[in-house]
Amino acid sequence: MMLFGVATKPDNDWWIGSNIPDTKNLSKYESLMFQGNGYFGIRGTLEENYLNEKRDMFVLGSFDKLQGEATELPNLPDIVNIEIIVNDRVLSLNHGKVTNYQRGLNLKNGEIIRSFDWQVGECKLHFKFQRFVSMHNLHLFVSKVSITPLNNNIRLQIKSGIDGQQTNSGAQHFLEGSKRLFNARFVQMQTQTQESKIKFALTEYHRLFLEDSELTLNPHLIIDRRRVCANYSVDVEKGKLLRFVKYATVFSSKDKDLEVNVSEDSLKELKRVGRLPYQTLLDESSKVWDEKIWQKSMVEISSHNNKPQIAINYARYQLVANMPHDFGMNIGAKGMTGEGYKGHAFWDTEIFMLPFFMFNMPHYAYNLLVYRYLGLIGAKRKAHEGGYKGAQYPWEAAMPTDAESAPLWGSADIITGEPMKILSGDTEQHVTSDVAFGVSQYLVATGDEDFAKRMGYEIILQCAKFWDSRVEWNADKNRYEITDVIGPDEYKEHSSNNAFTNYLAHWCMKKGAEIIIDLRQNNPHDYERLNIKLNLKRLLKDLIIKASKLYVPEPDENGLIPQDDDYLSYKKINVEKYKKADNTSEIFKDFDLKQLDKIQVTKQADVVLLMLLFENDFTRDTIMENWNYYEPKTTHDSSLSYPVHAILANDLGLYDKAFDYFEKSCQTDLGVNMQSSIRGIHMASLAGIWKVVVEGFGGVRIVQSKLKIQPHIPSTWNSLRYSIVWHKTKVHVHVTHTHFSVLTDGKFKFIYHDREYQTDAGEKLIIEL
Amino acid sequence: MMLFGVATKPDNDWWIGSNIPDTKNLSKYESLMFQGNGYFGIRGTLEENYLNEKRDMFVLGSFDKLQGEATELPNLPDIVNIEIIVNDRVLSLNHGKVTNYQRGLNLKNGEIIRSFDWQVGECKLHFKFQRFVSMHNLHLFVSKVSITPLNNNIRLQIKSGIDGQQTNSGAQHFLEGSKRLFNARFVQMQTQTQESKIKFALTEYHRLFLEDSELTLNPHLIIDRRRVCANYSVDVEKGKLLRFVKYATVFSSKDKDLEVNVSEDSLKELKRVGRLPYQTLLDESSKVWDEKIWQKSMVEISSHNNKPQIAINYARYQLVANMPHDFGMNIGAKGMTGEGYKGHAFWDTEIFMLPFFMFNMPHYAYNLLVYRYLGLIGAKRKAHEGGYKGAQYPWEAAMPTDAESAPLWGSADIITGEPMKILSGDTEQHVTSDVAFGVSQYLVATGDEDFAKRMGYEIILQCAKFWDSRVEWNADKNRYEITDVIGPDEYKEHSSNNAFTNYLAHWCMKKGAEIIIDLRQNNPHDYERLNIKLNLKRLLKDLIIKASKLYVPEPDENGLIPQDDDYLSYKKINVEKYKKADNTSEIFKDFDLKQLDKIQVTKQADVVLLMLLFENDFTRDTIMENWNYYEPKTTHDSSLSYPVHAILANDLGLYDKAFDYFEKSCQTDLGVNMQSSIRGIHMASLAGIWKVVVEGFGGVRIVQSKLKIQPHIPSTWNSLRYSIVWHKTKVHVHVTHTHFSVLTDGKFKFIYHDREYQTDAGEKLIIEL
C-alpha cells in the first residue's frame, strides 16, 4: 500500500498537494513543490512569511565559494514574497480562520495554485494564489493573487519585493546589492557573488486589476538593507475581485543569451512580457511542457489506483525542472530543490539519472555529458594532484573546471575538537568509471558518433588512463589490485578490491583499449588527434596488460562475489531494525563508522548494483545467490538503494519484493516521513522511479550494445505504456500481463529472451509473454 | 500626560514590561528590554523563536567591515534561544491559550522575568523565564526556565544552543565556526570575523533540576550548519517543578583580561560559575548595580505618578548597560541595542551622554575621552586626507583608529541608479569642536589634571589646529569664514557660516590658544612635549589671528542669530503637520532634500542648542528672541532635539513647554509609537532625559568654569533629589517648589543667580527659591 505524505486526487494523475494549511511541515512542501526550468528554480515557499521557512532560489551553475567552506549554489534574493495586509491584519494561515484550503502543484505545467477563505475579525475573504516558473522563457517567474472580500469593504495593502536578506543557512554569498526603480514601476536589485563575481539582476513589475479595470498605481517603495519592496494600497468593495500580478525576471552574467548586461536585459525582457496576461504566459510555458517533455517521455500506468502514475509523473516533472537547460552544468543530488549537498553532482547523474534523459530527450543527456567533457580540466587536475594520470572525476562536482568540490575536512570531532577528514573526495573513486560507463551507454543508445569522436572517446580514454595509473601491483599475488577505496557501501571507508570498483575499473580499461583499437583501424584522423593528447600506443599496451592482470573478484564456491577482500570475514548483525527506521542513519545511533567498517552490513546496493549494471556477466543463479546474501544485510541508508533492488527483484521473479521496493522508491520523497526531504528532494531516487517502471517493469535494458525489452508488470497493474528513443527511432511499448506490443516510427531491433526481433515504422509487433 | 507604550506599575519605579503576549511588536520590546554590561549586550528577544524577531548580540568594539559596506558591530551567534516542546507541541505564544502573562525588565539589576500559563490541548503548564547579563562577571549570561505541568504528566524536550545563522540583516560577518563538546556537557562554538579577524568563543552549560534534585543528563547534540544545539528530554509529573539553567560565557580575542585563548578562557570561566546557583550569580550582579551605579547616580522624583521616575531610571539603566567597560570603545547612537547606525558613535557622546557620566561616574567619562585620545590616530588621518591639519574627528566613529566610518556613498538614487554621496562624513564638521568641548567640560567638572596633561590638552589643541587649517579667508569681507558645512540642522546640506559650527570652532581655537599660553607659563615640561608634536608657538600665533578674524554671527537688529548666511532669506512653511507626525522624516513625503535646503525649517535644535551650550554669551532677551523664531520652525526630526528644547524652555520660564518637551523626550523610546525603536533605542535621547531632569529642572550647569545650580521643578512634581560629583566631592541636591538644599561630603562652591555660595562636608545649605 503506497502511503503518501502529500495529498493526491484519485481523478487527477498530475496533482500533488495539501488540503490543510500545514505550516508545521513547511520544508517538506517547499522541497516537494519546487518549481524550475533548468535555468533557475525556486522552492515551494508560501508567498507570506513563516517561521522556519527556507526561501531558496538558485540559478544553475552559479557556484560561489566562501572562505573555509565548500563551493555551493548561492541562495539568491527571494522574489516570491508577497505580504498582504487586510485592514491592518497581516495575512497568515496561523491567524484568523482558514477554510476550504487547498494547495497543489500541477505537475503538467508546474503551476502552483493555492486557494482558501480567510476570516479575520469581521472580514471574510477569498484568496487564490497562482504562480509558475516559465519553461518557455527561462528568465521568467509570474505570480498572481486574486482577492475577493466576501462580506465587507476592505482596505488592502500588498507588499511585494526582492529580499536579499536570505542566506545559505547563515552564509551570505552576495554583496549588498544596488536597488532602484525604473519608470516608477520596475523594481530592480543588482548583486554579485563574493568570490565567483557572478552578477545578477532581479527585476519585478506589478499590475493590479479591480474587476476588469487595470489600476495605474505607482508603488510606494520601501528600501531596507538588502531589501526593496513595492507597497500598494487599494480599497476593495465587498464582492469585487482584485487581482495582483507580479512579473519577475532573473538574469546572471553567466547567461549565454545575455545581450547587453544583466540590468538592461532583465528590464527589457520584463517590459516585453509585462504587457501579457498571466494566462498567456502560462499557456506558452504549458505548451513547452507538453510538446517538448510529456510527448517525449510518455509513461502511462493503468492500475487499481493512480499513485504509481502520480509518482512517475512527479519524478519526470522534477527531473526536467532540474535538468540543466544548457551544458556546463550538472544536476545536483538535490537538484535546485534545497541546500542539501550544496548543489553538487555525484555518480547519481550517470548511473541513475542519465538513462531517463538518454531514452527520452537525448539532447539533455548530451548536455550532461558535455559537462563531463568540460570537466576533464578539473578531473585531470584532480588526478595530477593525487599523483595519478588521465582524468579522475571528482566525487562531488560543481563548476566543471573545479577539481574536487567535496570538503576535504569536515567539522571538528565534537569531542576531541580535531577536524575530521572527509574521505569520499579522495577514495570514492568509482565515480570515474561511472562517468565513462554513462558515456558508453549514451553512445550505445543514441549512436551519436559526432559526440563520440569529439568528446566521448576522450572522456573514456582519460578515465582508462586514470585507472591505468591507479591500479597497484601485488607481487605476492601476481596481480593488480585497488586498495583503500570507498565503494557504493559507504559504511566501509577503507575497502580493498571492492568488487564494484574493480569490475568497473576493469570494464573501463577494456573499453579504453577497445576504443583505441577501433580508432586505429577505422578512424586514423581521430586516432592521431587523441594520440597527441594521450600517447595511445603506450596506453593501449598498458591497458591490455593491466586489465588482464587486474583482480576482478569471481564467485566463490558458494557463488558469492565478495564485496571486498574482508567483508565476508566480518561479524554479522541483525539489520531489520535499521531497515525499518523512519529516518536514515539510524544505525549510527548504535555503531560508529569504525565499528561499521568491521560488520557485514551494507549501506546500499553494492554487489547487487554491479549485477544490475553487468547482468550479462553473471548467471541467474549467481545473481540469486548474491541477492540472497546481500539484500538482508542492506540498510538502504541511501535513497539510491531501493530502485536498484526493485529492478533486480523483478528480474529474479521476486515480484512482491520488487513492488515493495518500488513503493519504497516512490515514498522516499512522496511518503509520510515529513523530515525526509527538508533539505531538498532526492533526484537520483526520482530517476530511480522511472528506472523501476521502464527498465524494471518495462524491461528495457542495454545488453552487449543491444536493446533488450523483457517486461513484467506488477500484479496490481493492468498495463504499462511507455515510449523511448533508440538511435533516433521513437519506440512505443505497451505491456499487459499476457503480451506486449512494440510500435515504432522507424526500423528497430530488440532482444526478448535471447531472441532478436525486428520491426519497421508503423508495424505493431505483438509478443506473447 | 505621559503616555507609555510599555506597561509600568504604579508601585514599582524599576519595572517596565508588558502584560500581554505582544508578538506583533517584538522589535520594540527587543530594543527596550536590552540587557548589557558594557562588554557585551543582547536584545530582549524571547527565548523561543518568532517570525520577524531580530536576535542581536554584540561585543562592544568588535567592529568588522564587509566589502563595499561600512564597518559595523557584527551580530554574534545567538545564545538566548531555548526551544521547549511539550508532548510534541512547540511552545509559542501564538498557539494554545496563554493566560496570566507578564514580562518585565527589572531596571534595578537588569533581570528579565517572564511568566505565564500555557494551555495546549489537554495540558496546562506554568512557565517562568528569568535571565540576566552579569554586571559582576562581564563574560557571563545566565538564563533559567521553571516549568510546572499543572494538570497532567508531560514529556518535555528542551533544546538550547548556539545559533550562528544570525546575520546583520542578511550580512554575515563570521566564518563558519567550529562546534564541539567538552566533558560531554559544555557546548562551544568558536568563530571569527571576516576582516578584523577577531576570534570569539561562546560556551554553554546546562543544568536541570526536578524539584530539588539535580538530573545528570548529558545532552543529545544536534549539529547543523553554523548551529549547535543541546537537546534534553525529561518526563515531568503533574505538579512537579522542573528548572533548566543555561550558563553561557562570551569571550573575544580583543579582551584585555584574556589569559590563554578564547576557547580555554570561555570554558574555564564557565566551569567555575556553572557550579553556582542562578540566584547567587544574580545577587553578585545586583550588588554591582547597586553599589557602583545606583548609589553613584541618584535621582529621585516625587510626583503625582511614577512615570518620570521610571523614565529616569530607564535612561540611567540603558546608559550604563551600554557604557564601555573599558577605554578603546565608545557608545553607539543606538548603543548595542540594535543594528541601527551600525554601532557607530557620533557627537551624541560628548554633547549629550558625557554629562551624565562626568557628573556621576567620572571614570566612565574618562573611558569615553580616552577613546577620543586613541582616536587622534584616525582623526589626524582624516584631517590629512581632507587636506587639513591637526585632528578632524569622524562624524561616525567605530574603531578609534578608523578615520571615518560614515559610508562615503549611499545606496543608488532609486530613480537614476546613480550612487548618492553621503555628505555628513565630509562636512558635518562640528563634531571636532564637540569632542574638544566634551574634553573641556570634563576637565572643568573633575579637575582631572592628569588626564588634561596626558591626553586632554592634546585633543583640544589638535582640534584647534584642525580649525586653524579649515577656516577660509574672505578677502572681500576681511574675515575668516567656514563655508559648505552641515550643522546640527541636517536638512541644510551646504550651509555657510552655520552659527553653531562657527561659534564652536571659534571657541575651540580660543580654548587652544588659552591652553598654549597657560602651559607656556605654568607647565614648561608639557609645553615642550606638545610643542614637538604641534609647533605651539606658530600655532598660538595663528590661532589668535584667525580666531579674532573668524566670523561669528552676532544677533541682528531683531536680536536674531542667523542659523547660517542664507537661512533667514528662505521661504517659510507651516511645520505643525510634521511636528505632530508619529514618525520621523514625515517632511520627506512632501519635500526632498534639495527643497528643504531652501526652506526655513530646522531639523533639530541648532541655534537653540548653541544658546544652551553657551548660555552666558547671550542675553536672556536674545535667547527668547531666537527661541521664538526657531522653535516654531523646528520639526524635531532628531531625538536629540526635545531635551535641548526642554531645558531651554525651563530656563526661559516656559514651564508648560518645558514639561511638554520633557514628556516628549521620555516618549521617544518609551512612548506609544511601536515603530520608533525597532532598530535600537536612542542613547542620546535617554541621556537627554537625565539632562532635562538634572541640568534642566535640577538647574545644574557649568558656566565659566564654575558650577551653577539654579533649579525649577515642574508644577506636578513635589520634589527632586539628585546627586552629582564635582571635583571628587559628592553633592546631594534636594529641590522643592519653595527652596533647595545642598549637602556635600567636602568643600563645595556653586553659583545661584550670579551669587556664589559655599558649603563644607555635612553642612546642609538651604536656599529659598
Among the listed residues A72, A339, A490, A625, the single catalytic one is A490
Q: Which residues of A touch B195 (CB under 8 A)?
A: none
Instruction: Read off the C-alpha cell for A661.
Output: 521496493
Predicted pLDDT at B506: 98
End-to-end CA distance of chain A: 27
ipTM over 0.90: yes
State pLDDT tens for residues A30-82: 999 999 999 999 999 999 999 999 999 999 999 999 998 999 999 999 999 99
Residue in A331, A392, A340, A398 with CA at minimum distance from that of residue A367: A331
User: For chain B, which ranges sit under pLDDT 50?
Assistant: none
State pLDDT tens for residues A708-732: 999 999 999 999 999 999 999 999 9
Q: Are strands A739-744 and A748-752 parallel, antiparallel or unpaired?
A: unpaired
When CB atoms are compared, the residue of A169, A223, A414 closest to B165 is: A169
pLDDT averaged over chain B? 96
Contact B68 A176 (CB under 8 A): yes
Q: Which of A225, A228, A341, A416 to mutate to test the interface with B (most CBs of B within 10 A)?
A: A225
Section A148-172 average pLDDT? 97
Residue in B409, B405, B602 with CA at minimum distance from that of residue B498: B602
For A514, residues 6+ apart whose C-beta sits below 8 A from its C-beta are none
When CB atoms are compared, the residue of A51, A223, A411 closest to B414 is: A223
Instruction: Read off the C-alpha cell for A765.
Output: 509487433
Instruction: Read off the C-alpha cell for A481.
Output: 589490485
Residue A687 has pLDDT above 70, yes or no: yes
Residue A419 has pLDDT above 70, yes or no: no
Contact yes or no for B549/B506 (Cβ under 8 A): no
Contact A225 B172 (CB under 8 A): no
Query: Which is more confident, B404 or A594?
Result: B404
Nearest CA in chain B to A415: B181
Predicted pLDDT at B411: 62
Q: Which residues of B touch A417 (CB under 8 A)?
A: 178, 180
When CB atoms are compared, the residue of B166, B176, B411 closest to A223 is: B411
Taking the C-alpha atoms of residue B704 and residue B750, their distance in angstroms, rounded to an integer, is 12
Predicted pLDDT at B701: 97
Taking the C-alpha atoms of residue B416 and residue A180, their distance in angstroms, rounded to an integer, is 8
Q: Which residues pair with B64 in a beta bridge?
A: B72
Distances (CA, A) of A315 to A39, A308, A322, A645, A665: 18, 10, 11, 18, 11
Contact A412 B179 (CB under 8 A): yes
Nearest CA in chain B to A414: B180
- DSSP assignment of A279-332 equals HHHHHHHHHHIIIIIGGGS-EEEEESSSHHHHHHHHHHHHHHHTS-SSSS----
Contact B171 A225 (CB under 8 A): yes
Predicted pLDDT at B407: 82
Among the listed residues B72, B396, B490, B493, the single catalytic one is B490
Predicted pLDDT at A553: 96
Contact A167 B165 (CB under 8 A): yes
Instruction: Give me the helices (H) in B559-605, please.
Output: 576-580, 593-596
Q: What is the Cα Rg of chain A in Å?
A: 27
Dihedral angle sign, alpha carbons of residues A112, A117, A118, A124: positive
Give the other-Cβ count within 10 Å of B458's Cβ.
21
Taking the C-alpha atoms of residue A579 and residue A576, their distance in angstroms, rounded to an integer, is 5
Predicted pLDDT at B21: 96
Q: At what angle do helices A499-522 and A524-534 cross, to 10 degrees?
A: 130
Predicted pLDDT at A414: 65
**CA–CA min distance A40, chain B (Å):** 22
Query: Is B490 known to be catalytic?
Result: yes
Predicted pLDDT at B418: 67
Predicted pLDDT at A459: 98
pLDDT averaged over chain A? 96
Taking the C-alpha atoms of residue B355 and residue B441, their distance in angstroms, rounded to an integer, is 8
Section A77-99 average pLDDT? 96
Nearest CA in chain A to B414: A180
State pLDDT tens for residues B607-618: 999 999 999 999
For A348, residues 6+ apart whose C-beta sits below 8 A from its C-beta are A331, A333, A640, A683, A684, A687
Residue A602 has pLDDT above 90, yes or no: yes
Predicted pLDDT at B270: 98
Query: Which is more confident, B661 or A674?
Result: B661
Predicted pLDDT at B414: 64
When CB atoms are compared, the residue of B51, B412, B414 closest to A51 is: B51
Give every strand in the sheet of A40-42, ordered side by side.
A35-36, A40-42, A57-59
Contact B165 A166 (CB under 8 A): no
Contact B415 A180 (CB under 8 A): yes
Predicted pLDDT at B392: 98
Q: In terms of C-beta density within 10 A (0-12 exposed, 13-18 middle, 19 or more buried), how is residue A428 classed?
A: buried
Taking the C-alpha atoms of residue B384 and residue B377, their distance in angstroms, rounded to an integer, is 11
Look at residue B168 and give its three-state secondary structure. strand
Contact B170 A164 (CB under 8 A): yes
